[in-house]
Structures are given as C-alpha cells and as structure tokens.
Structure 1
Amino acid sequence: MKRNKIIILTLIILVFVVGGLVYNYTFNTKHRNISVEEATVSMSAENLYNHFYNNEKLATTKYLDKVIEIEGKITSVENNEIILNDKIQVSFNIDKMPKVAEQILLTIKGRCVGYDELLEVVKIDQATVINKQN
C-alpha cells in the first residue's frame, strides 16, 4: 500500500515537471523578428537557386534559417507570395505584403526555409521589401 502511494506521488510530480517544461518551451520562447535582423548574406535570386540546385546539402548548411537579402525580378504574384526569377518563392506576412507587379526588380530580406525539390524552388518566409525598382 505504501509502495503504491510512492508510485502515485512520483507520477504526479513527474506530470507537473513535464507540464512545466512543455509550458515553458511553448509560451516563453522568444520569437525572431526577421525584419529587424541584419542579413547575413546578400545575393541574386539566380545565385541562391544555383547554390541549392548544385549542392543542396552544403547550401542548406550555409543558408537554412539564416536572414538573407535576395534581388530578383518578380515573375509571379499570388495572395501573400511572390516568385522571383521563377526560382525563389517569397512569403510575406499578410499585413506586410507589398503592392507589386510582375517584371519589377525587387530586393527582399527574409529567412531561408530551404529547397523544395518537388517544385524546384528555394523558399523564403517572413520577408520584407528592401528596395523596389520599376
């Protein structure tokens, strides 16, 4: 009987400890603000795509989850995304989507999410416009 009480008490303590850790991890993590971070690298959309196309593993090591600055021509505009040079898929936050049109030269800053082998595009999210040229 005493052994059962010890086991139950241990389980209750374990549940509280695990619950506290999960709560702390979920609600107390600081979220990155990509728009105020400095870009670690700046390059053309074509260059970034070629890095991933030629050596995806190395490019992933170098650029994944890094803030990068990309310049390219807009080839497609959809909802809160644009495509640069048919190779870079750029996602904006809904409230930060710039008013742009196709064939405009654009420089953006965002977080590199990786390479989508199926669509053959490099994905950038949390992007902001640095420079827009007609």
Structure 2
Amino acid sequence: MRKRISVIVVLIIVLVIAYCYINQSHRDIENEAAEFEINSTDIASSFLNNSSEAEAKYLNSTIEITGNITEINSNSITLDDKVFCQFTNSIKNTLDKNLQIKIKGRVIGYDDLLEQIKLDQCTINKNQLLIK
C-alpha cells in the first residue's frame, strides 16, 4: 500500500512539473532588451562563415537589426535579401522599399536554402526609421 501511494505521489509531482513546463509564460520580445544590435549584412556573413557558431550565439536571442527593406508584405519584411522578419500584427502601408529601418525580433534560425536568417515576433523601432 505504501508503495502505491509513493508511486501516485511521484506521478502527481511529475505531472505538475510537466504542466508547468509546457505552459510557461510567453516572452514579450517587444519589451525585452535586445542582446545584440547588428546590421543585416554582418549577421548574414556570420551565418555564412560558420553557421553552427552563429546559431549558438544568436539562436533564440532578441536582436535589433538594421537594414534596407527589399521586400514587404502584410506581415513580413525582408532586409537586404538576407533577413526575413515576421510580425505578429500586420504592417502599415507607410513603409517603402529601400527604406533603412531598425527591427527588433527573436532569431529562430537560418534557412540554408534561401540563405536567410529568420526572425519572429518582430516590431519596428519607431524612433529608428531612417530614410535613405
């Protein structure tokens, strides 16, 4: 009987820990301080030169990245054809191609096929819009 109670208690503890782990609070990238400030060509060259080292450094970290808009859609921007930034909200139509911009987001990986760094939960730093 004691053995059954011990097993049930351990099972309940494991379930509670698993539940807490799965339902962690989400990161608020917009209000988080950026770990790195870098431009799109520098981060792209670091991934091209040594992708495993760059992933260890940048993966899942919040960065502020500066670059020129080469492609813009309703919820994504591509900077210098090297960095793909996905937004949670739709982007206003006030942005144009070749506009230099600073974006904050979380690095989620590197696409070898397209040779692009992928960011999600991006926000545009309104104070850093720079017209070229």
User: What's 1:35 paired with?
Assistant: 30
Residue 84 (1) aligns with residue 87 (2): no
1:48-98, Cα deviation, whole Å (9 max, x unpaired): 100101110111111111111111111111231110000100011125x34
Residue 66 (1) aligns with residue 38 (2): no
- Structure 1, unaligned stretches of length 5 or more? none
Residue 24 (1) aligns with residue 20 (2): yes
Instruction: Return the alpha-carbon distance in structure 1 between the equivalents of residues 49 and 18 of structure 2.
Output: 40
Identity of aligned residues (%): 33
Instruction: Return the alpha-carbon distance in structure 2 between the equivalents of residues 19 and 60 of structure 1.
Output: 32
What secondary structure does 1:94 align onto? Answer: coil
CA-atom RMSD, angstroms? Answer: 2.0
Point out the structure with max Rg over C-alpha: 1
What secondary structure does 2:22 align onto? Answer: helix
Instruction: Return the alpha-carbon distance in structure 2 between the equivalents of residues 49 and 105 of structure 1.
Output: 17
**Alignment length (residue pairs):** 128
User: What's 2:130 paired with?
Assistant: 133
Residue 119 (1) aligns with residue 114 (2): yes
Residue 93 (1) aligns with residue 88 (2): yes
Structure number with the higher helix fraction is 1
Amino acid at match of 2:66: E
Instruction: Return the alpha-carbon distance in structure 1 between the equivalents of residues 32 and 5 of structure 2.
Output: 47
Q: Normalising to structure 2: TM-score of the pair?
A: 0.83
- Alpha carbons of 1:88 and 1:10: their partners in 2 closer, same or farther (altered >3 Å)? same
Amino acid at match of 2:12: F
Deviation at 1:106, TM superposition (A): 0.9
Q: Normalising to structure 1: TM-score of the pair?
A: 0.82
1:98·1:129 contact (CA, 8 Å) conserved in 2? no
